[in-house]
């Protein structure tokens, strides 16, 4: 739910909640899902494969993100996307891509659409990165934000593997928090308050770190069996945590020449 990228609003986060069998290849894996009455039990082999495929696709998705960010910084193509125009472009593009990803997640087109989406997100992020690079210590701030995001992911992945209880009840509260955060972020696009941005960034880091844990736990428990949907949810959480950290670091630690 955050993008102080082209428009100052938080990137949209609509976590996929559909469970479909979708391996990385063309063969299905329905043989590994067992039905008992109205309950569905996913085998450990299937859960591990979904988790492994999700991690690989998540790592791959970072490459188009970096490419999009580099292109945006190098060309300045997103420099004019401010205020309402930037918000409209971002929201329209994000909603459109996420709809397409969910629509084609069971087909061969799902992965290319997801990668195109991550390129778009990198492009939208480039305006913030360019602003941070304007600081004397800009490169250090970006690396710190990247390291912090990686640390959050490692902690959440570790917790997801050791927590025994279900976290399904947490999902609805996180969605409420995400909606409130989005409304606040959109308002701050027009208000332009640095204090507001700092507060929203802190809340975003907390909410999307928990979203990360929630999504990883669902994969571990077999609640999410589509690796494209799983990757989309985790990518959005990582994206939001990274740029929220970057926004905070820029506000509090940016050094002018």
pLDDT at position 32 is 45
Q: Does 1 have pLDDT greater than 50?
A: no
Beta-bridge mates of residue 65: none
Q: Does 68 have pLDDT greater than 90?
A: yes
Segment 224-234 shows an average pLDDT of 93
To the question of pTM greater than 0.75 for the whole model, the response is yes
pLDDT at position 254 is 67
Q: Nearest 5°: phi and psi at 169?
A: -65, -20
Tell me if 71 sits within 8 A of 65, measured CB to CB. no
Note the pLDDT tens digit of each residue in 110-129: 999 999 999 999 999 999 99
pLDDT at position 29 is 35
DSSP for 63-108, please give it.
HHHHHHHHHHHHH-TTTT--HHHHHHHHHHHHHHHHHHHHHTTTST
pLDDT at position 80 is 72
pLDDT at position 257 is 62
pLDDT at position 187 is 85
pLDDT at position 129 is 93
Tell me if 52 sits within 8 A of 231, measured CB to CB. no
CB atoms within 10 A of CB 180: 13
Segment 244-252 shows an average pLDDT of 90
Q: Nearest 5°: phi and psi at 255?
A: -110, 120
Domain residue extents for the chain: 2-12+43-253
Of the two residues 21 and 241, the one the predictor is more confident about is 241
In this structure, the chain runs to a length of 257
pLDDT at position 255 is 66
114-123, 137-146, 184-193, 226-235: least confident range: 184-193
Q: Nearest 5°: phi and psi at 11?
A: -65, 140
Q: Sorting pLDDT into bands at 50, 70 and 90, what band is 197?
A: confident
Segment 229-242 shows an average pLDDT of 94
Q: Sorting pLDDT into bands at 50, 70 and 90, what band is 166?
A: confident
Q: Does 149 have pLDDT greater than 50?
A: yes
Q: Sorting pLDDT into bands at 50, 70 and 90, what band is 20?
A: very low
In sequence order, which residues have a C-beta less than 8 Å from that of residue 32 and are 6 or more positions away?
Answer: 21, 42, 43, 45, 46
Segment 86-93 shows an average pLDDT of 82
């Amino acid at each position: 739910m955050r993008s102080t990228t082209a428009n100052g609003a938080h990137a949209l986060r609509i976590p996929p909640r559909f469970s479909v069998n979708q391996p990385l290849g063309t063969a299905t894996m329905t043989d590994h899902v067992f039905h008992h009455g109205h309950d569905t039990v996913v085998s450990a082999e299937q859960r591990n494969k979904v988790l492994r495929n999700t991690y690989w696709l998540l790592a791959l998705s970072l490459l188009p993100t970096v490419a999009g960010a580099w292109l945006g910084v190098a060309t300045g193509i997103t420099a004019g996307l401010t205020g309402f125009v930037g918000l409209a472009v971002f929201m329209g593009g994000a909603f459109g891509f996420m709809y397409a990803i969910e629509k084609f997640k069971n087909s061969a087109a799902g992965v290319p659409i997801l990668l195109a989406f991550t390129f778009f997100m990198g492009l939208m992020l480039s305006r913030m990165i360019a602003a941070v690079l304007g600081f004397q210590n800009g490169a250090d701030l970006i690396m710190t934000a990247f390291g912090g995001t990686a640390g959050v992911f490692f902690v959440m992945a570790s917790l997801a593997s050791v927590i025994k209880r279900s976290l399904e009840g947490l999902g609805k509260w996180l969605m409420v928090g995400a909606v409130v955060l989005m409304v606040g972020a959109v308002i701050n696009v027009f208000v332009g308050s640095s204090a507001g941005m700092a507060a929203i960034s802190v809340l975003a880091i907390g909410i999307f770190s928990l979203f990360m844990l929630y999504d990883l736990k669902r994969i571990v428990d077999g609640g999410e069996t589509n690796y494209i949907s799983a990757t989309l949810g985790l990518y959005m959480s990582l994206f939001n945590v990274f740029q929220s950290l970057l926004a905070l670091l820029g506000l509090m630690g940016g050094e002018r020449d």
